[in-house]
Chains A and B, each alone.
Chain A
Amino acid sequence: MKYFCKEKLVDEKNIVWWILGCFIISRLIMYVVCGFSFSNYSLDLFVDKINRADAVWYRQIVLGILNGDYLKYAHVDTSPYKMATWAFFPLYPLCVAIVYKLLGGLCSIYVVGMIVSSCCFFMAMYFGYKYIMLTRHEIEKAFLYIFLMSFGPHNVYFFIMYTESMFLMLVTMAMYFMKTKKYIYMGICGALLSATRNVGVFFVLILLIELIMENCKDGRFSIKRFLSENISNAKLVFSVSMMPLGLFSYMVFLIHELGDGLAFVHVQRAWRPNSGIINLLHNIKVASWEKYPQDYLEVAFFVSVILILAIIVNKRFEEAVLPAMTLFAGSISSFMSIPRFMMGEFTIMLSAIDQIIPIGKNKRRCIVAILCFISVPWIRNWVIGNNLLF
């Protein structure tokens, strides 16, 4: 597939090199920034320092899978905080465990996790480019998307042993297959998505909005036409029924191991002691009215809301569904992890790029430079243990 951009022919090969180049240089920057933060610096120390917080949990889960005692009762005393790990969905640690076995224990679990994350990130960028060309037809947006995902703030999450890369890859692929109407592939990605993170199951809603939008193309919505057109499509029906398969497979496993299929929901109380809409409204009131200056997480929450509203104003409703659901589900207890969740949503960065591209070359360069500059102290604070960045 070839696209024209400013009289220059751009093909997929160039994009692959662009992704590879951005990936390598941005990871080298992480290594150097981390190096300036510690004495007696080595590659092992880099891997150890950059994999923290949830990466420790995932390492423990991978060890549990490898030792055959995943979720066993005897296992709890060896978990990072001596606590239950079943809030973490199993697909990513399972993949890491498989690759670790295939490599024969050649690298540490963290390194294998970083390899898996990097492969997923590469695929996510490639399908991100394909999706942008399909929906926006602007190669500049595709280039900028890859650049900001590699160099912008929060790029660390897509390199370390976190589910962010895998989730981003599956969301991007599922959205691309949805737009190209390859429903079986979309269903497979949806099923894997719901096995990666609990919010993955909401992809069903993205498809629902997409189908409603298609039905409304002539300006009217007809339930009769909606049902007849979609139910007659066997592949579509099957793909929809496949999407929650990952979540329900995990529930079967939890029933078998613990006797509680909703254990991953019940254990959320540990993460969210005060949870609910009242709590969310209180947090918004504090952040917007009572507190000054706002902290980083509160600013990230409001920026996310603005970017979601921008998607809605552009009438790309299907792109707003997952970030909106994730933002709501994540912020009903606190604004912790909101920036991370949002960066893994694909369409949030796309929304930012939709706003950045039309403002002119010089202003755009300025904004991109600021975003890249911000990421440097961000990386440093991550490796030295700033708790706001979990």
Chain B
Amino acid sequence: MKKRNLALYFLSVLLIVSYFLILFLSLDTSKASKLYNEYYIEKTIDDFPVGGELR
């Protein structure tokens, strides 16, 4: 097998493993700040204009 192909396979495995790691880190939202949970999300969801008009 050519060295270039080996390098491509290695990079592919590396990328896929890192995707799983990122996904795993994303599922843990305990690190999300209090501001993020209470201010951003709540404010965004409560005030977002649905159908072009503010609820």
Residues of A within 8 A of B (CB): 73, 76, 81-84, 234-235, 237-238, 240-242, 244-245, 248, 251-252, 254-255, 258-263, 266-267, 269-271, 273, 334, 336, 387, 390
Given contact pairs A81-B49, A270-B45, A248 touches B18 in the complex (Cβ within 8 A): yes
Complex CA distance for A254 and B32, rounded to whole angstroms = 10
**Residue of B15, B44, B48 most packed against chain A (CB within 10 A):** B44
Query: Cβ of A235: which chain B residues have Cβ within 8 Å of it?
Result: 8
Query: Cβ of A387: which chain B residues have Cβ within 8 Å of it?
Result: 51-52
22 A-B pairs whose Cβ atoms sit less than 8 Å apart in the complex: A73-B36, A76-B40, A81-B48, A83-B48, A84-B41, A234-B5, A238-B8, A238-B12, A240-B12, A241-B12, A251-B22, A251-B26, A255-B25, A258-B32, A258-B36, A260-B26, A260-B29, A260-B36, A263-B36, A267-B40, A269-B45, A271-B48
- Interface Cβ pair total, 8 Å cutoff: 97
A82 to nearest B CB, angstroms?
7
A86 to nearest B CB, angstroms?
9
Task: Report yes or no: B45 in contact with A260, Cβ–Cβ below 8 A.
Answer: no
Given contact pairs A83-B47, A260-B29, A260-B32, A234 touches B9 in the complex (Cβ within 8 A): yes
Further pairs besides A76-B39, A76-B40, A234-B8: 6, Cβ < 8 Å: A73-B40, A83-B43, A234-B4, A241-B15, A258-B36, A387-B52
Task: Report yes or no: B26 in contact with A262, Cβ–Cβ below 8 A.
Answer: yes
Interfacial residues of chain B within 5-55, with CB under 8 A of chain A in the complex: 5-6, 8-9, 11-13, 15-16, 18-19, 22-23, 25-27, 29, 31-33, 35-36, 39-41, 43-45, 47-52
Complex CA distance for A131 and B14, rounded to whole angstroms = 32
Given contact pairs A83-B47, A273-B50, A237 touches B8 in the complex (Cβ within 8 A): yes
Residues of B within 8 A of A (CB): 4-6, 8-9, 11-13, 15-16, 18-19, 22-23, 25-27, 29, 31-33, 35-36, 39-41, 43-45, 47-52
Task: Report yes or no: B19 in contact with A237, Cβ–Cβ below 8 A.
Answer: no
A253 to nearest B CB, angstroms?
10
Complex CA distance for A243 and B54, rounded to whole angstroms = 37
Complex CA distance for A271 and B26, rounded to whole angstroms = 21
**Residue of A76, A244, A270 most packed against chain B (CB within 10 A):** A270
Task: Report yes or no: B29 in contact with A259, Cβ–Cβ below 8 A.
Answer: yes
Query: Cβ of B22: which chain A residues have Cβ within 8 Å of it?
Result: 248, 251-252, 255, 261
A109 to nearest B CB, angstroms?
22
**Residue of B4, B13, B26, B35 most packed against chain A (CB within 10 A):** B26
Task: Report yes or no: B44 in contact with A83, Cβ–Cβ below 8 A.
Answer: yes
Query: Cβ of A273: which chain B residues have Cβ within 8 Å of it?
Result: 45, 50
Closest chain A residue to B45, Cβ basis = A270
A235 to nearest B CB, angstroms?
6
**Residue of A82, A261, A263 most packed against chain B (CB within 10 A):** A261
B22 to nearest A CB, angstroms?
5
Complex CA distance for A83 and B36, rounded to whole angstroms = 11
Query: Cβ of B32: which chain A residues have Cβ within 8 Å of it?
Result: 258-260, 263
Task: Report yes or no: A270 in contact with B51, Cβ–Cβ below 8 A.
Answer: no
B43 to nearest A CB, angstroms?
7
B27 to nearest A CB, angstroms?
8
* Cβ-closest 6 pairs across A and B: A261-B26, A387-B52, A259-B32, A234-B5, A270-B48, A259-B31
Closest chain B residue to A269, Cβ basis = B45
A79 to nearest B CB, angstroms?
9
Query: Cβ of A334: which chain B residues have Cβ within 8 Å of it?
Result: 51
Given contact pairs A84-B40, A258-B32, A262-B26, A241 touches B11 in the complex (Cβ within 8 A): yes
Task: Report yes or no: A82 in contact with B43, Cβ–Cβ below 8 A.
Answer: yes
Task: Report yes or no: B45 in contact with A238, Cβ–Cβ below 8 A.
Answer: no
Closest chain A residue to B54, Cβ basis = A81
Task: Report yes or no: B44 in contact with A84, Cβ–Cβ below 8 A.
Answer: yes
Query: Cβ of B33: which chain A residues have Cβ within 8 Å of it?
Result: 73, 258-259
Query: Cβ of B51: which chain A residues have Cβ within 8 Å of it?
Result: 334, 336, 387
Complex CA distance for A390 and B22, rounded to whole angstroms = 33
Complex CA distance for A242 and B19, rounded to whole angstroms = 10
A238 to nearest B CB, angstroms?
4
